[in-house]
Structure 1
Amino acid sequence: MSHVHAPYHFVPLSKWVYMPEWAHLVSHDVPFQDGLSGSIEYTLTNKTPLCVGSQHHQQENQPTKVLWHRNPHGQFVIPSTSLKGAIRNTLEISSFSKFKSIDDQRLSYRTISSGSEYLKEVSNSAKVEAGWIKYCNKSSAWQLSLCNFAKVKHTDLKPYCRVNIRNEMSAVEKYQALPITTDIEFDTNTLKRSKDGTHTIKHVGQGGTKGSMVFCNNRVVDELKGKPEYYEFSYCFHGKSQKVVSGAHINTLVDGCLSSHNEKQVQFLKMNPHPEKGIPVFVLIDKKNQNIKALGLAKLPRMMYKHSFSELVDRKQKDASKALIFDMAECIFGTLREEGLSLKSRVSFTDAVCQKKLTPTCTKVILGSPKPSFLAAYLEQPLKDNYVDYNSHNAELAGWKRYKSLNRFESNYNQKEHDNDKVLSEIELLPSDTQFNGRVVFHNLKPEELGAILWSLTYGEKSQCLHQIGHGKSLGAGACAIEVEALSCNGEARTPTEFIERYVQTMERAYPSEHHTWSDSPQLRHLIALANPATHEHTINTYIDFNSGDYKKIQNGKLSMPQLEVAGKSLPRKEPEEITTTTAPNFAKGRLAALITDEIRETLWYKMHSEEAEKRQERASLDAMPDDVREIATLKLRFERTEKLARQHLHVEVVALCHKALEKQLSPQAIRELIDLISDETVDFQNVGKKKKKDRERLIKSVKELM
């Protein structure tokens, strides 16, 4: 089997970020005129076995134990933080909030398979040298000094250092056995040069040259390329050039190197550097211009991708991710801002408590962790046979990662295949249909915001849609349904449906498309499909076995994550062309104006969005008017935007409106607006020839007499 499958999928990102029209009025202290305070009582029922762990115990050669979270009374509880996180994520997606559920990092790569970009663009066009990096407190910058290096076979190292270094050991284990401060001696005249240009030390302990042993993590043994003993070697860094390089470029390369390698190895080297030289690194230098391209902790250093996660988000949602925009999730759950514009959460969750006394079962599992370096899933792959990576000009994140809601739990532990207890976890599972009772307390919410909370709890009262909570989600554990038992608003009992409908109407009205709806958007359809176990009954919902060869076939075949299917039809991931990163009418209004500095005010971005905000506010105002009033208000705007000499062409429409008024086809409010219009100097309604002037004056008088 060599197609892409996983227990998760992605809700596609949208260019549009919705900023509620009341965002500039949100306050914890000043109530909305229609503000609501109260509570939601709900019951959470797990449809598959559930583990929400609080303690992790790991003894040597024993699986990691994940024990259920219990309160002081010994009751099983789902912590409020777990519940709030799950509901907020659902609300962020459904309300088209900003995409923030991502670490801002830049990934690195080192794919050395045949024909890979790394081999073509990096290895073949560059040479590898050795060096030491050391932080200079005086200049507050990293410094790189180059040196020489040579291979040392472990069999030659053992008699001299009296330690048994083996390839299977990690770099940290090797350094613990033979510290970096240990000097080894050798004779440079006896160095043997291999085909790739690397020298090998033949006689360790003989000669006057001294060097430091440098270790890498274990190399994967490929017996097609060489026997296991072929991989039994490490490196010796020796000598020192007079050239010391520093500057912003080196700082960037060092930061990339330390952030893209094994965390345990990096932390060990940071805490245990060579006292004089620093941390050993391999240096990739361009053969043509001698520029330093990368630093790494292995001979083939990892290269940093061009685009970071945040850069790709900004590319998709553009300036909607700026602090100037307050999305609905931020308005409800709070957010941090400068200029005193931070918002407190107006919603709080209690722990959900199980009232029954139950005995959990202990189950061994292997808990995998998805990696964003898996390009077949984490990036949109629009074209076959043309893999997009984080270097590509058209790279686009796949979106919000969501585990599939499954209708059953299956452990992936096999005693015959998995004999390494270090990779195992033993989790406590409560049986299906266990009930937990919890409460959501809210303060000063708009009816639309309360509807958003209720919609997110119940997926708009779709009982078949489930939330994923706790450990083992990739195996089907933790699929939970939430049912609202009671809703209290300002001391009165209410029904959730009326508020959910209010939220839906708000999103449908705000969705910036004339031909498509919010409920039919790719984002909503994917969110609902992933939450419905029926969607995944006939799909493979397990991780790819990276040891089976499937992963290499996927890379070589440039395969990508298949689209979700509902009722045999693929869900489209591309949103309508007319969707843009529009802002709300309240952009930079009220309290939000404090965020606009003079520097921002001068940017093209601000000017464009200010104009767009005014247009949206204008459209919203017109939409709220009765038809006859809107017709007059629209005509008035046309006068304002028409040059003076051309305004008389619009007088014909004013005359027609006057006759409508006289024929009692306009409402009193519309007549008042019409009188204001014909009295406006901009309209200049009396500017006609002598023959028509008396007729025009009589018409104006007749209309005014209607009031």
Structure 2
Amino acid sequence: MPRGKIINYSPGKNRGRLKDNLTGAMLDFKLINVDRSSRAFLSAGREVEYDLSPDGRVCRVRVVDPYVKKEQPESAGATDRGGREKGKPEIALPEAGPVFSVCGGEMEGMLSEEKAMEYLKRAGLGDILAGQAQSAGTQDGNQFLNPYNFVRYLDQPAEAAGGPHLFWRCQPPPHDRFTGLSGRITCRLVNITPLFISDSHGIEEDGQNDGHKKYRFFQIDGRKLIPGSSLRGMVRSVYEAATNSCFAVFDDRRLSYRNNRYSAWLVPARIEGSREEGFKLKLLPGRENMIIYPDPRRYLNENYPKSKTQYAGWLYSFWPLEPSKTLKQKNDEFVHSRRGKTPPALPEDTGHGSECWAILKKRRHSHPNITFYDVVEIEAPDNEQAIKEKYNELKMGKGDFILTKGYLCKNNQNIESKHSERFFFDNSGQNSGQEINLPLEKVKEFEKLIAEYADRHCERIKKLQDPQKPLESKKEGEGKHAAYSRFIVKGCSKGYKVQDGELVYALLAGSADSPDVVFLAPVLVPRVFHEKSMRELLPKYLHKCKKIEVLCPACRLFGWVGGNDKDRPNEGHPADSAVAFAGRLSFSSGKMIYDSGEEGEITLAILSSPKPTATSFYLLNRQSKKPSGDLKYAEEAVLRGRKFYLHHGAGPSRHPDGYEYERPEGKKDNQNRTVRNAVKPGAVFEFTVDFESLAPAELGALLWSLQLEEGMYHRLGYARPLGFGSVKVIVEKVEVFDLKKKYLSLTAYEQYALALDRKQINEKIDRFKSEMKDLYGREFGELENIKDLQKILSTPPLPNIHYPRLERIPDPKGENFRWFINKGKQKQPLPLAGEDRGLCY
């Protein structure tokens, strides 16, 4: 790079002349997009390095000498405005690194296509230049890879009990002095597959497609950037997994799951009382004697007696949106009671929870094991005489009728096949009129369950005019969608609190004479809470760090913020102790220095939030440490580890009709997004990582987490499950600063930066691997977490990668959940990362 000296400069116009040191040539220059703080260093007398554009103009300038006022040497005394000498020279130090500029309309610091091609070839990435990325192809077999898998965590090392260790739990270095190594890592990042980083600005609403939105690539002043926070998060996730650090961000809720195996045993009931006076549960088991077991788990293994009549009565209320095969094809008593019949008229001002008179008739369902009482007439409480007269008329005919008071339970037409609401009553059964104590903790648990129901649907409910009625779809080929349950709508609008008169279903334990409440449910096929929360299945040594004296490797490096008082036990933890620790890393934004071009507008396939309720994917058997299709969040299970998205190979996956990342038929609605300006493979971004006070092995761990190993790729940005965002980070330069010399001198900062060569960089990485081997007793490459990372972030064994679905061709409706409810597929747990050879359609 040639050098020259500025001989004149106009800060206002940001232009001047350079005298080339070698040839004596005079070069005019004009710098564009140089911020004011940098312009102060571009005065006459400065020695600089510079680059020329193809047309001979100066387009890049880097200051290489300290600024001395009036071109005086450092040893000379400075003068004041009157020309009098002062005791010490007046020197302004330049910022570390180059001052970039723009000339000829080109972006500052950009590589030409020719230089970019040379660079990518040197980096071993020549085959993924813009327009040359190869597709992974189409899978012809019957298998596919799930787009994510898990990196397992390691057992607590035996040596950890003997004292602190650099890669276990210990106190971080102080911030009031420098210890260890400080400096800067300069990196370049190349995307192997299309890359998209979403911008919070420039969002376009699509008024014609049900709330569909378009997003642009992140940019500032028209220049594409990767935010430093995105780069930091990408590297931290790998660093956490590689060093077996704590799970810093973790959901502590108990999750729920749908369980129909309890349905037959749930007893209808009415909550009475208040929080102040206490709650009672009035049991309403109809005319049946209750079956109650001492151990609640026994319900899951017992068959409900075929001769037993269901507890609650059925009230025919609407013809199904999607009639079952029974109603369509059969021709028996039950079908005659529904098909072509008008539902019983409800008394005026009658709604959910209303007390009513009803005439019930015993019926057998088309299914031979279901017997129930059907509501044939219903009246208001003050219309007793009329309903008794009707009852006497019916009794004269043939049939098993009863007359009783009860409560109307209405939950709306919340399933497409639903045709009947329920009627809760209690009439001459064992323990008739029984009331039991309802602990407040069971009430609160029920309210949490309703809140979880609401959380799943609130966003959609807010957009509907009347969510308690079926919605007629405006889309061609679609009929009505089921309504939302009454309790979900209430939970979304006001928040749900149990009040006197609420109708529920209860699972009971103990005995019929003295039952205890196991849980309450709002519907007969309910969601129920798992026994354990996710946090309870995670070993305590991996819980979020609580005290600064024992921080995990990632929290010591990237920073830590303690939880609230509840999360921070008082024992050995004074009230005035530290509650946060600033990280020792600073990531710059990634500036694009070679633009490989843009993809056109892409309407992406549906993406959704994680589904940890898919237990066969998220859990392992505690004893065998193997996957299983029959696990719950309970004592016999453990968490698999940290979730990572698979690298898709040289290009996003395809199916016979197109790319996996595209929504079938280009369908646009509020379930998916359209992205603009996605970067084609082969773009180059440059960023820096400033570090301070690192031990050599910590620097090695950071370098390993940045550049990974040959054939491994980071995942970054949006649409990673669809194949976007596979990137390779190349460490270009590692500088370690001699801080003692720096602070004893007034000369340029970079003059005291020692650049490590490749051998020294590898020595730091080997130091990290050696420390991990000493701590865990195995070679670095034999550790489970490292093997899983290598497998997930390397070229996959199958080209087809997508979320589970029943067919090779994706469903335009995006109903992938049907794979999980198919009994045959439920037996396919997600294999361990190292054993993943695919799942079957």
Structure 2 length normalisation: TM-score? 0.54
SS at match of 1:465: coil
Matched, 1:306 2:548: no
Checking the alignment, whether the CA contact within 8 Å between 1:508 and 1:519 is kept in structure 2 is no
Q: Are 2:610 and 1:344 aligned?
A: no
Mapped to 1, the partners of 2:797 and 2:319 lie a distance apart of: 58
* 1:488, distance to aligned residue in structure 2 (A): 2.5
1:104-143 to 2 correspondence within 5 Å? Answer: 104-112=252-260, 119=261, 122-124=262-264, 126-131=265-270, 136=275, 143=279
Query: What is the aligned counterpart of 1:523 among 782, 785, 799?
Result: 785
Equivalent-residue separation in structure 2 for 1:383 and 1:97 (angstroms): 20
- Structure 2 partner of 1:37: 182
For the residues of structure 2 that align with 1:363 and 1:270, how far apart are their CA atoms? 33
TM-score, normalised with respect to structure 1: 0.63
Measure how far apart 1:143 and its partner are.
4.9
Kept after mapping to 2: 8 A contact 1:37/1:489? yes
| Matched AA of 2:691 | F
Report the alpha carbon displacement of residue 186 of structure 1 after superposing the two structures with TM: 7.9
Change (3 A) 1:259 1:514: closer
Q: Which residue identity does 1:522 align to in structure 2?
A: E
CA distance in 1, matches of 2:457, 2:555: 35
Q: C-alpha separation between the residues in 2 aligned to 1:346 and 1:545?
A: 44
Secondary structure of 1:494's match? strand
* Corresponding residue SS for 1:45: strand
- Please identify which structure carries the higher strand content: 2
Superposition pairs of residues 526-541 of structure 1, within 5 angstroms: 526-532=788-794, 534=795, 536-538=796-798, 540-541=800-801
RMSD: 4.2
Matched, 1:218 2:414: yes
Partners of 1:39 and 1:516 lie apart in 2 by 31
Residue 14 to residue 25, structure 1, CA distance change in 2 (3 Å): closer
Following TM superposition, by how much is the alpha carbon of 1:504 offset from its aligned partner in structure 2, in angstroms? 3.5
Q: What is the SS of the residue equivalent to 2:560?
A: coil
**CA offsets 1:33-61 (integer angstroms, 9 cap, x no match):** 4x233322222111101111134655563
Instruction: Say whether 1:545 aligns with 2:684.
Output: no
Cα distance in 2, alignment partners of residues 36 and 258 from structure 1: 50
The corresponding residue for 1:450 is 699
How far off is 1:469 after superposition?
Answer: 1.0
User: Contact 1:53 / 1:66 at 8 angstroms: preserved in 2?
Assistant: no
Amino acid in the other structure paired with 1:518: F
| Counterparts of 1:509 and 1:478, CA distance in 2 | 31
Equivalences for residues 2-401 of structure 1 within 5 A:
5-16=145-156, 20-21=165-166, 24=170, 26-33=172-179, 35-55=180-200, 59=206, 61-62=209-210, 64-112=212-260, 119=261, 122-124=262-264, 126-131=265-270, 136=275, 143=279, 145-146=281-282, 151-155=314-318, 187-193=356-362, 199-203=373-377, 208=382, 214-215=410-411, 218-219=414-415, 228=417, 231-235=418-422, 245-256=438-449, 258-259=451-452, 262-264=455-457, 266=488, 268-269=490-491, 271-272=493-494, 277=500, 281-286=504-509, 288=511, 290-314=515-539, 317=541, 323=547, 325-337=550-562, 339=574, 340-341=577-578, 342-355=580-593, 359-369=598-608, 370-380=610-620, 382=624, 387-390=629-632, 393-401=635-643
Structure 2 Cα separation of the partners of residues 309 and 426 of structure 1: 34
Query: Which residue is equivalent to 1:495?
Result: 756
Bigger drift between 501-510 and 520-529 goes to 501-510
**CA shift for structure 1 position 6:** 0.5
* Equivalent-residue separation in structure 2 for 1:416 and 1:202 (angstroms): 48
Matches within 5 A, 1:645-656: none
1:128-184 alpha-carbon deviations (Å, 9 max, x no partner): 314459984x58xx95655767544333999xxxxxxxxxxxxxxxxxxxxx99569
Cα pair distance change 1:302/1:412, threshold 3 Å: same
**Post-superposition offset of 1:238:** 8.8
CA change 1:63–1:217 in 2 (3 A) is: same
Matched residues in 2 for 1:133 and 1:468: separation?
54
Q: Is the 8 A contact 1:32 1:446 kept in 2?
A: no
Tell me the alpha carbon deviations over residues 420-447 of structure 1, each in whole angstroms, 9 at most, x when there is no partner.
7343321232211122222222222223
CA distance, structure 2, for counterparts of residue 457 and residue 45 of structure 1: 13
Letter of the 1:44 partner, please give it: L
1:292-322 C-alpha deviation (Å, 9 max, x unpaired): 222233222222222221111126x578976
Unpaired runs of at least 5, structure 1: 113-118, 159-179, 222-227, 571-707
Question: For residues 252-274 of structure 1, what are the alpha-carbon distances to aligned partners after superposition, in whole Å with 9 as ceiling and x for unaligned?
Answer: 45434533665336574264359
Query: Residue 68 of structure 1: CA displacement?
Result: 2.9
Alignment deviations for residues 313-336 of structure 1 (CA, whole Å, 9 cap, x no partner): 126x57897646311101111112
Deviations 1:88-138 (A, max 9, x none): 0100111121234431222222244xxxxxx2xx345x33314459984x5
SS in 2 for 1:380: strand
CA contact 1:192–1:200 (8 Å) conserved in 2: yes
Partner of residue 561 from structure 1, selected from 790, 812, 830: 830
Query: Residue 409 of structure 1 corresponds to which residue in structure 2?
Result: 652
Does the C-alpha gap of structure 1 residues 439 and 66 become closer, same or farther in structure 2, counting only changes over 3 Å? farther
* Higher relative helix content: 1
Where 1:188 maps in the other structure, the secondary structure is: strand
Over 3 Å counting, the alpha-carbon distance change for 1:58 and 1:279 in structure 2 is: farther
Q: CA offset at residue 12 of structure 1?
A: 1.3
Count of residue correspondences: 521
Check the 8 A contact 2:282/2:434 in 1, yes or no.
yes
Return closer, same or farther for 1:514/1:404 CA change in 2, 3 Å cut-off. Answer: closer
Q: Give the % identical residues.
A: 19
Aligned AA (2:829): S
User: Could you tell me how far 1:540 is from its partner in structure 2?
Assistant: 4.0
1:555–1:73 CA distance, 2 compared to 1 (3 A): same
Distance change in 2, residues 1:430/1:238 (3 Å): farther
| Secondary structure of the corresponding residue to residue 38 of structure 1 | strand
What stretches of structure 2 of length at least 5 have no aligned partner?
Answer: 1-140, 285-311, 322-348, 365-369, 383-404, 427-432, 459-487, 563-567, 569-573, 654-658, 738-751, 807-814
1:380-424 deviations in Å (ceiling 9; x for gaps): 254999645125543121111111111212443677667573433
Bigger Rg, structure 1 or 2: 2
The aligned counterpart of 1:484 is 731
Does the Cα contact within 8 Å between 2:181 and 2:695 map onto a contact in 1? Answer: yes
Q: What residue is the counterpart of 2:287 in the other structure?
A: none
